[in-house]
Structure 1
């Protein structure tokens, strides 16, 4: 390998710098422009998945080996995997006693010299506690990354989910309100972080502040052009998709609320959820078993169908666990989150409501 100061090395670096950014493909670039216009941020960076978006955001923030990242124990394993992929250690934070967001006292107690970022996870389109987290990270100098993969279109305090922290991460996987089969994107008002994210997703073949092309290792997290074109098409009807999802959630709540053993989880003050899922807190005996029974009866839900488990209790995350987090465990086990897709008809929602009410009555007999 040539010396960094040699003519050969300088020539190689210059050649790398002249290489076109493969992510400046037309459809991807246009999608990023459209996302900026739709969500009101300075920059958007398209990537290959929602998990890739979180990994890219962490890498753009310089997070890696020897660092710790705080995240809620009430999360999906994909968020944990993204932190681990960067070489950082995930540190799980307990839920608040009411199940809304992270326990700020536990968050503060687990913030240490190695802590570099907090990841807020907006499960089922809810952003509980995001403004308190933003205030905490501003005061402590930590980065705040939002996992908003399930929160496209949710607003809190007049702000779009994913635009409150330093970077917001989204998924374009089927089932999301904005989808193209597979893919993801980041939103940010920090142009330096956007440049680093764009460089990282394509083997660092483009320049970033203090990191010219070819000076760092990156990955291939590029979004395929046909998928970018499909996402652009679906973005044009995003307002209609958002309205549909909100009405679906509202319709299921109207039909189910009042059923003994199911307490509706209402939106926080100032929040307008996107309707990703209808949400209840189960007060029935053995709520996880009840959720599994609903799944068997044709009602998809987070714990019964997808086996959502508090992260510190998940087998794949056991090496990161450090003690019990009782509020997180109870929050997950008592959660009934019933998601929707654009293909769910009024009749299908009506059948789900009948099933939920019937099974709840049977469960308590």
Structure 2
């Protein structure tokens, strides 16, 4: 294994915590208004979300996981129903399905991306299928346009888990435009960060009403069941303030990613195949590898200060985790995908020198 000649060794952080000079004033202004999830501050945030993403409806919620739960309920998923999803996504996506007593059914990915394999999809659709969830990992767009057509043809609601994908687009449209219900996280590490939080976008007014009703205790009318998943006003105030900085942040991420890609020379490391018409937000830069031992390559980068989500979260197909093993359905393309890739941080806090250090390490690596 090659050793880097660049000293001293850097430690590249994969954590990006946005901070803006008007954060404090935004929070201060919110303190003068109501602080609950029904405050006008939250309404203003939802208006800002609708404007930025071009969506007819936005529902602010307490987390990305809450968004998945609320979307499943709005789509009509009940205990005993089946929900299709790829196994390469986080546990955060599958747990809400399991919690409501529905059955996660795994569908394989495409060979070179995290989208649903449309050839495998018909093999897992049954009369009990109530929703399909697509998860574009690390902000990399998937063929959501093709999946949207397939879902509509089958009469199955399409839920997009876009927790990583703020600002990712396909054919000039936000990825959220292709889902019946599109779910986002605004955890502090996400491009749009409110500490904790999430939201749902939808152009369907009926689905929006179901989301809002369920996430507000069924409006406490005694007829409709619901739980409390509202977002508080202080987090909403941060969201309203920070959304205006999102485009500049995405531009910085793309610039850092391009610096790495333009200098990448290792024959066993390459970018993912670009989908025509897609624009990545580079929540992380994803790279494909063709090493005999990909984990050794990831360990090499980590030992030299460059972390990977694959190592941090022990990324593997969900059915390999004990909590999900009962739902196992082998997805060989998804397994190969996770075993032949890594992620690289490219967030705005990193410098050109950081990017050069990272790509220098990659280019210097030799596999034993």
Q: What TM-score do the two structures reach when normalised by structure 1?
A: 0.87
Q: Is the 8 A contact 2:141 2:279 kept in 1?
A: no
Looking at structure 2, the residues matched to 295 and 233 of structure 1 have their Cα atoms a distance apart, in angstroms, of: 35
User: Structure 1 residues 229-238 or 243-252, which shifts more?
Assistant: 243-252
SS in structure 2 at match of 1:23: coil
Aligned CA distance change for structure 1 residues 329 and 258 (closer, same or farther; 3 Å): same
Q: Is the 8 A contact 2:86 2:114 kept in 1?
A: no
In structure 2, the residue matched to 1:106 is 120
In structure 1, the residue matched to 2:41 is 27
In structure 2, the residue matched to 1:334 is 340
In structure 2, the residue matched to 1:215 is 223
Q: Is the 8 A contact 1:267 1:273 kept in 2?
A: no
Pairing 1:271–2:312 present = no
Q: Is the 8 A contact 1:25 1:225 kept in 2?
A: yes
Alignment of 1:142-153 (within 5 A): 142-153=156-167
CA shift, 1:336, in A, is 1.2
In structure 2, the residue matched to 1:54 is 68
Q: Is the 8 A contact 2:85 2:105 kept in 1?
A: yes
Q: 1:227 aligns with which of 213, 232, 235?
A: 235
Q: What per-residue deviation string (whole Å, max 9, x for no partner) do you get for residues 302-333 of structure 1?
A: 212222111122222112113x2211110111
Relative contact order, higher structure (CA 8 A, sep 6+): 2
Q: Is the 8 A contact 2:269 2:289 kept in 1?
A: yes
Q: Is the 8 A contact 1:147 1:162 kept in 2?
A: no
Q: Is the 8 A contact 1:289 1:304 kept in 2?
A: no
CA shift, 1:223, in A, is 1.1
Aligned length: 335
CA shift, 1:100, in A, is 5.1
Pairing 1:352–2:350 present = no
Where do 5+ consecutive residues of structure 2 fail to align?
A: 1-35
Looking at structure 2, the residues matched to 30 and 52 of structure 1 have their Cα atoms a distance apart, in angstroms, of: 20
Looking at structure 1, the residues matched to 46 and 157 of structure 2 have their Cα atoms a distance apart, in angstroms, of: 23
Runs of 4+ in 1 over 4 A off after TM superposition: none
Q: What per-residue deviation string (whole Å, max 9, x for no partner) do you get for residues 22-61 of structure 1?
A: 6321111100001101111100000011111111111111
Looking at structure 2, the residues matched to 66 and 328 of structure 1 have their Cα atoms a distance apart, in angstroms, of: 26
Indicate the RMSD between aligned Cα atoms, in angstroms.
1.8
SS in structure 2 at match of 1:186: strand
Q: 2:104 aligns with which of 87, 90, 95?
A: 90
SS in structure 2 at match of 1:337: strand
In structure 2, the residue matched to 1:288 is 295
In structure 1, the residue matched to 2:310 is 303
Q: Is the 8 A contact 1:145 1:167 kept in 2?
A: yes
Looking at structure 2, the residues matched to 124 and 244 of structure 1 have their Cα atoms a distance apart, in angstroms, of: 16
Q: What per-residue deviation string (whole Å, max 9, x for no partner) do you get for residues 61-86 of structure 1?
A: 12120110000112111111122123
Q: What TM-score do the two structures reach when normalised by structure 2?
A: 0.87
Q: Is the 8 A contact 1:58 1:86 kept in 2?
A: no
Looking at structure 2, the residues matched to 194 and 54 of structure 1 have their Cα atoms a distance apart, in angstroms, of: 13
Looking at structure 1, the residues matched to 328 and 114 of structure 2 have their Cα atoms a distance apart, in angstroms, of: 21
Q: 2:175 aligns with which of 131, 140, 161?
A: 161
Q: What per-residue deviation string (whole Å, max 9, x for no partner) do you get for residues 112-139 of structure 1?
A: 0100110000101122221111011110
In structure 2, the residue matched to 1:130 is 144
Where do 5+ consecutive residues of structure 1 fail to align?
A: 1-21, 207-212
Q: Is the 8 A contact 2:214 2:226 kept in 1?
A: yes
